[in-house]
Structure 1
Amino acid sequence: MATERPHLAVIGAGPAGLAASLAAAAHGVRVTLIDSAAGAGGQFYRRPPAGLGARRPQALHHRWRTWRRLEDALTARVEAGTIRHLADHHVWCVVPAVPEAPPDTAPPPAGPGSVGFVVHALLGPLQEEPVTVRADAVLLATGGYEKVLPFPGWTLPGVITAGGAQAMLKGGLVVPGQRAVVAGTGPLLLPVATGLAAAGVEVAALVESADPKALLRRPVTLAAQPGKVAEGVRYGAQLLRHHVTLLPRHTVVAAHGEERLDAVTVAALDMHGRVRPGTERRVPCDTLAVGHGMLAHIDLAESLGCRIDGLNVAVDEEQRTDVPGVWAAGETTGIGGAALSLAEGHIAGRSAAARLTGTRPDPRAWARAARSRRRAREFFAVLDTVYVPPAHWTEQVTDDTVVCRCEEVTAGAVRNAVDELGAGDVRTVKLLTRAGMGWCQGRMCEPAVAGLAGCEQTPARRLLARPVPLGVLARAGDPEVD
């Protein structure tokens, strides 16, 4: 491996990370691709292990040829030594590197990007073996995670996230149950419902709180994305073929069962997002796959001091953050699907390579990627206005509904902190109730706590991106790095 080449650490091997790594490696940069999964691809290109003997894994994907091109290119780069792929590495912190100073001299002032970065990770399923990687620059492609809003019964066994159901199917070739309801809001519900139905699950209903017909009032946006329109039509045809009942402008108000889920209650919503009295119906099922959109993973960017715009990492036209030496691409800069992630990753990788090597990117390739990025961003900006959770979802959350699973904090406790103790923001609610102090550090419950408290969800400023053993923290200052 040519160690004299500038070194870029790419964190995340989903569509954005793969595109960025390949683009940077193709333009003279040595790349270390670090990812927590056992194989590259992220959630979108998740595949079953070879040992399961899947005969047609492409049946679970609608962009399989794109993945094969990415996979083949990554394999070639790894074999050539221009990309090192570190799978099953869980990054918990990225810090500016400080060079060792001669004895009896003060170290030089550290600044992000001035002397490179050190990436701290944990290796293996038990995440106990520390690994460090030194690089000249860092590209964050950490993706996103699902947002799930609580309702009575949502902690019952059998209630899973929509993405969790998809991961079980794509990664394990297993289905979560025999009769399912898919509910919430967002484009993810369509592939989840059709995927489960194609795998033999009886999908009793697809419960969408938004009205997808609102997209028809944006003909210009739809015309600019014919591929997305065709994709939606294919999903609709699959729902009809599998006799899946579509319930737009409906929501799940409760899940029922003793030891596990056996039914859900769904109801229609009025134009203001409130449940219409008298429209409730009970739907028997043993699985509820539910999701209310996606949130960006921004923990590493926050710890580096990158500017956050809303709940996304802010970047410029080159996908650079405001911290020198740090780029970001994909869902971490805003949820927008695989096509947008690929375009942003390509731009970010080329930009990083140009900055690190002192060259200029090909203007034609740059323009093509920028055009794809612009169109995808415009399309998903429209989707964001259509696929939103019901405005008054908190009215269905009873006081005894658990909101923070880690600390078993109920909605009543959150409301009491606001109404009786004067809490006016998520942090104060957290201090008064312990909501968000558990294993997930509020990643799952924070949107619900903010909604129940009637305040805006703001970035949490977490120091570490994941739980870390104390022994690893104690050794984090050791000089040995890869």
Structure 2
Amino acid sequence: MTGDTPPPPERVPPDDLAVTGAGEAGGPPDDVAVVGAGVGGGPSHDLAVGGAGVAGGPPDDVAVVGGGVAGGPSHDVAVGGAGEAGSPPYDLAVIGGGPAGVAGALTAAMRGLRVVLVDSGVRLGGQYFRHRDGPPEKFARQVRALRERAEIMTGRQVWAVTREESGFTVRCLGGTAVRSRRLLIATGAYDRPLPFPGWDLPGVLTAGGAQALLKGHGVVAGRRVVVAGTGPFLLPVAAGLAAAGAGVAGVYEANGGLGLARHPLLALGKAGEAAGYLATLARNRVPYRTRHAVVAAHGDRELEAVTVARLDRDWNVLATRRVPCDALATGYGFVPQIELGVQLGCATRPDADGTPVLTVDAAQRTTVPGVWAAGEPTGVGGRHLAVTEGRIAGLSIAADGAPVRALLRRRARLRAFAAALHAAYPLKPGWQTWLTDDTLVCRCEEVPLAGIREAQQLGATDARSAKLLSRAGMGWCQGRICAHSVAALTGTSPPAPRRPLAQPISLADLATLAPHDSTVRGATPCDSTASDPTASDPTASDPTASDPTASDPTASDPTASDPAVEETP
């Protein structure tokens, strides 16, 4: 590990800064986002996808590449770099090795900053580049260029970030602590499931979990798979499964098929990609049905069949039929992983679909001095938007000035497309009619719909009060899986996560905090409008991190749902 001034940067063509990856999730390949049985109290690998560097695989799956304590045990502390006595050894710490994180780190490093990138995966690239054979050459060149200019610490799961007088300390499981003057949060997003009868059966996964199994291990989720939910992410998941030899019984899109018809210019660039996926489905004789959804899963000990319903515009059931299958991949969008930003006190705002995201300015600065954010934590918008935001953040951090106008114009176009996607694939309230009184809403604490309704009768008016009265959201995933559903059932918007710890940690990790650091500061966000599902709840510290693929009960990237796979109409 070296702290010397990096050599003069080798010129990298501008195109090489456009990461061709997707998703900010970067968990290990075995961190599969299983939305079926096993999340609540199950094995550690049955987690939901989280963002890169935040939620990931087992703590002992450590591979330090280009930084940290070379070959040392996971409990060794690695701060790396050099600098003036008492000053942070790095100018910038980037959390997350997906498209936004790599783009931001490389941009800043090429301008002479001492950069360290921390990621929970065993290699960089996030969910999109979770390939067994390695990433495409274009992204591989970027990684090689980054290794020459920055420290890269993989296999490190961040559980907290604390503010110091001279900067920030990024704390990882196993005792690693990284100090830097500035911070870039690029932690990605994880899959958002919706509850329905039988969704806790073995064989029910998130769409990101099914994709992670295929990309990371070459394993198809089942012999006969149903893919259902809403959004363009369903297409690459189904096409990948079909191309790998799985029997895909059908792809069921809950919304209409002409969601982007009102935005023909925005959709034009994605038409070719969508056509490619649809062609793959057609070659494999996979039916694609709009205004259809899986409303129930059936099986004694594992998934045996699903009930597919034809829906009206609000997702109310019009007719049903039974489809045999042994695997179901379901996904209803993504949830940005913003715990670390909220820990530090960054303000949040509701995204187009009401999901809380970090508030940033034109230069990707958050409301906390010294903290930038890029990619899905600022709003789910796909890999191209993530890369663009990462580059803008890197330029802003390096020059502490306004980024180039061309990047700002590109970001505006991509954000417009993301907004159009949110409008084209909304969550309609009719999904609540699919539930029965005994349908589990919170699987970790086994709270059924009847428990939520009882909490409402006792006076619960939002997700936080429903949690206090029913325990929904108090389990292993700390509401990552059920918070959106509980909020919707109580008629409120999803709350911003307020977890003082972003990962389940040991007492040994807590002991690494200095006496004056014994409390993780900044746990209360600046956004006073966000309801707090965990406030006043001593059990709500984060005992686990997340979904799988989004996993990890989340993972992400562990997470990994592939929030960055290019969305297509």
Q: Structure 1 length normalisation: TM-score?
A: 0.86
How far apart, in 2, do the equivalents of 1:417 and 1:262 lie? 33
How far apart, in 1, do the equivalents of 2:510 and 2:142 lie? 36
1:386-405 → structure 2 map (5 Å cutoff) = 386-405=424-443
Q: Is 1:275 the equivalent of 2:342?
A: no
Task: Report the equivalent of 2:554.
Answer: none
Q: Is 1:138 the equivalent of 2:175?
A: no
Counting matched residue pairs gives 428
How far apart, in 1, do the equivalents of 2:466 and 2:211 lie? 33
Task: Report the equivalent of 2:142.
Answer: 73
Deviations 1:9-62 (A, max 9, x none): 0000000000001000001101110011111001122122xxxxx5xx67xxxx
How far apart, in 2, do the equivalents of 1:446 and 1:266 lie? 25
How far apart, in 1, do the equivalents of 2:363 and 2:333 lie? 27
Q: Is the 8 A contact 1:435 1:445 kept in 2?
A: yes
Deviations 1:186-233 (A, max 9, x none): 11101000000000001111010011213123223224xx2x121111
Flag the structure with higher helix content: 1
Moved more, 307-316 or 208-217: 208-217
Task: Report the equivalent of 1:463.
Answer: 500
Deviations 1:353-374 (A, max 9, x none): 112xxxx67x6xx233222211
How far apart, in 1, do the equivalents of 2:406 and 2:280 lie? 33
Q: Is 1:41 the equivalent of 2:86?
A: no
Task: Report the equivalent of 1:92.
Answer: 159
Task: Report the equivalent of 2:307.
Answer: 265
1:185-200 → structure 2 map (5 Å cutoff) = 185-200=230-245
How far apart, in 1, do the equivalents of 2:172 and 2:90 lie? 21
Task: Report the equivalent of 1:346.
Answer: 391
Deviations 1:349-396 (A, max 9, x none): 1111112xxxx67x6xx2332222111111110010111223211111
How far apart, in 2, do the equivalents of 1:11 and 1:435 lie? 30
Deviations 1:144-174 (A, max 9, x none): 0110010000000000000000000011111
Task: Report the equivalent of 1:22.
Answer: 106
Q: Is 1:428 the equivalent of 2:470?
A: no
Counterpart among 274, 295, 305 of residue 335 in structure 2 = 295
- Offset of residue 479 of structure 1: 9.7
How far apart, in 2, do the equivalents of 1:352 and 1:376 lie? 22
Structure label with greater radius of gyration: 1
Over 3 Å counting, the alpha-carbon distance change for 1:398 and 1:390 in structure 2 is same
Secondary structure, aligned partner of 2:317: coil
How far apart, in 2, do the equivalents of 1:479 and 1:353 lie? 31
State the one-letter code of the partner of 2:277: Y
Q: Is the 8 A contact 1:184 1:389 kept in 2?
A: no
- Indicate the percent of aligned positions where both proteins have the same amino acid: 48
Q: Is the 8 A contact 1:143 1:330 kept in 2?
A: yes
How far apart, in 1, do the equivalents of 2:408 and 2:463 lie? 37
Runs (5+) with no aligned partner, structure 1:
49-53, 59-63, 99-114, 123-128
Q: Which runs of 4+ in 1 moved over 3 A?
A: 3-6
State the one-letter code of the partner of 2:505: V
- Offset of residue 272 of structure 1: 2.8
How far apart, in 2, do the equivalents of 1:142 and 1:275 lie? 37
Counterpart among 276, 279, 289 of residue 234 in structure 1 = 276
How far apart, in 1, do the equivalents of 2:494 and 2:115 lie? 35
Q: Is 1:379 the equivalent of 2:420?
A: no
State the one-letter code of the partner of 1:339: H
Moved more, 454-463 or 250-259: 454-463
How far apart, in 2, do the equivalents of 1:325 and 1:26 lie? 19
Q: Is the 8 A contact 1:165 1:192 kept in 2?
A: yes
Q: Is the 8 A contact 1:209 1:390 kept in 2?
A: no
Q: Structure 2 length normalisation: TM-score?
A: 0.73
Q: Is the 8 A contact 1:183 1:290 kept in 2?
A: yes
Q: Is the 8 A contact 2:106 2:145 kept in 1?
A: no
How far apart, in 2, do the equivalents of 1:286 and 1:13 lie? 34
How far apart, in 1, do the equivalents of 2:281 and 2:143 lie? 35
Secondary structure, aligned partner of 1:213: coil
Task: Report the equivalent of 1:103.
Answer: none
Counterpart among 244, 248, 252 of residue 203 in structure 1 = 248
How far apart, in 2, do the equivalents of 1:391 and 1:196 lie? 30
How far apart, in 2, do the equivalents of 1:252 and 1:454 lie? 23
Counterpart among 273, 293, 311 of residue 251 in structure 1 = 293
Secondary structure, aligned partner of 1:29: coil
Q: Is 1:147 the equivalent of 2:214?
A: no
How far apart, in 2, do the equivalents of 1:444 and 1:270 lie? 26
Q: Is 1:318 the equivalent of 2:402?
A: no
- Offset of residue 478 of structure 1: 6.8
How far apart, in 2, do the equivalents of 1:121 and 1:156 lie? 33
Q: Is the 8 A contact 2:483 2:495 kept in 1?
A: no
- Offset of residue 403 of structure 1: 1.3
Task: Report the equivalent of 1:214.
Answer: 259
Deviations 1:289-311 (A, max 9, x none): 00110010010000100010111
Runs (5+) with no aligned partner, structure 2:
6-81, 84-88, 351-355, 518-569
